[in-house]
Amino acid sequence: MRWFQTRRGFLRRLGAMIVKEVLQLRRDRLTFAMMFGMPIVQLLLFGYAIDADPHHLPTAVISADQSQITRTVLSALNNTGYMRFTHHPSSEEEANALLQRGEVQFVVTIPSDFTRRLVRGERAQILIDADATDPMAAANPLAAAGPSIAQALARDFVGPLAGLRDKPDSVEVVVQRRYNPEGKSRLNIVPGLLAVILTMTMVMMTALAVTRERERGTMENLLAMPVRPVEVMIGKIMPYIVIGAVQVTVILLVSRVLFDVAIQGSVFLLATGTALFITVNLAIGFTISTLTQNQLQAMQASFFMMLPSILLSGFMFPFRGMPVWAQWIGEALPATHFMRVVRGVMLKGAGFDDISTELAALLAMLLIVSLVAVSRYKVTLD
């Protein structure tokens, strides 16, 4: 009997706690939205947006030989579904620049004596230069190229050329994995990690720093003193810029020493891009803090920013493997542009001209976000 009574008391008190907890949870709309929104967003991203085996990758073609056979070769490559011929540069330099800027993933070069050698029964070569910074994106297209060319040519070899059919390796596909000849995925991941770690810490740190003032009631005191919004904003952000710079230095040193990832391009250019990216993130964090009420909400909003920065920026999965709508979301994320800057400078030795578009995009984001932040932050409590 006594046991029964204490058990009943336990259930009653437990029930009281549960009811209270549910009531409180219901009041926190943002948390509630996050709990249901996050899994849906994740499902959509993983289900639709992410393709680890991207197709239709932009490819440049330099064909010094125009014949029925070269047309067959090119259409065979096209038919693999992995390549899409977007550029027809007139020189090798031009093609290299396209690869450097990341505008194309592959450059297919057909030498002028291709058809002649093939017809003569000699071994003919076709050259594919691949941007192998992301080995995952390059692997399958390169593997599919040789067999599909051989197959298509076999169909074409009729009449006087029928004798070539029996020589299966008449065409040799020479592959050059640029920027990452050994196909090491860490070469691709380490620079990407820089973008992710910075997004994670910088956005959250500033978002929390300002909401903390409001939550603890020190904001009212601060506003009553003659300090201007821009001073509060820059003052709050500055220490984190230094922290971000230290983070970057540590990551780069560790990746150099432990993973042997060296910086191919200019350190100064990398530093400029990084400083810009850090500032954008801090401005975003500051904006989040002006839109949220407490530290928990600020934390959740930061996560909401971080998730696409990891999934849609090209960090985890090849950017070109995503559908167009996901690529547009990716383009709107600072992490995407910074990722291109870091990979470009670190792995490809890209110069200012190669990454100027990305830098411009980051600068534009900084301006827009700062405007929002300054207009949202008020001198008064109104």
Partner 1 sequence: MTLAIDVHDLVKRYGTRTVVDKFSLAVETGRICGFLGPNGSGKTTTLRMICGLLTPDGGGGTCLGHDLVRDREAIKRRTGYMTQRFGLYEDLTIRENLEFVGRVYGLDRLKERVDQSLERLGLTTRQGQLAGSLSGGWKQRLALAACVLHEPKLLLLDEPTAGVDPKARRAFWDEIHSYAADGITVLVSTHYMDEAERCHEIAYIAYGELMARGTAEEIIRQSGLFAFIATGPGADRLAAKLRDAPGVSAAAAFGTTLHVCGPDRTALEKAIAPYRGDPGIVWEESEPTLEDIFIHLMGRARDNAPGA
CB of 243 to partner 1, least distance (A): 17
* DSSP code at position 122: P
CB of 221 to partner 1, least distance (A): 3
d(CA 156, CA 346): 44
CB of 23 to partner 1, least distance (A): 24
CB of 231 to partner 1, least distance (A): 9
Name, in order, each residue with C-beta under 8 angstroms of 339's C-beta and a sequence gap of 6 or more.
191, 192, 195, 313, 314, 315
What is the size of the binding site for partner 1 (CB under 8 A)?
15
Nearest 10 degrees: Cα torsion 262, 318, 251, 235: 130
Residue among 220, 260, 331, 353 that touches partner 1 (CB under 8 A): 220
Query: Toward partner 1, which CB reaches closer, 12 or 228?
Result: 228
CB of 324 to partner 1, least distance (A): 43
If binding is defined by CB under 8 A, does position 227 make contact with partner 1? yes
If binding is defined by CB under 8 A, does position 226 make contact with partner 1? yes
Query: CA 334 → CA 189, 300, 331, 359, distances in Å?
Result: 17, 19, 8, 10
Token representation of residue 166: 């029996």
Fill in the amino acid letter for 127. Answer: L
If binding is defined by CB under 8 A, does position 293 make contact with partner 1? no
Fill in the amino acid letter for 262. Answer: A
If binding is defined by CB under 8 A, does position 217 make contact with partner 1? yes
Q: For residues 281 and 338, is the Cβ–Cβ distance under 8 A?
A: no
CB of 380 to partner 1, least distance (A): 6
3 state DSSP class of 105: coil
Residue among 75, 79, 176, 221 that touches partner 1 (CB under 8 A): 221
Fill in the amino acid letter for 266. Answer: S
Site for partner 1 in 323-382 (CB under 8 A): 379-382
The contact set with partner 1 (CB under 8 A) reads 216-218, 220-227, 379-382
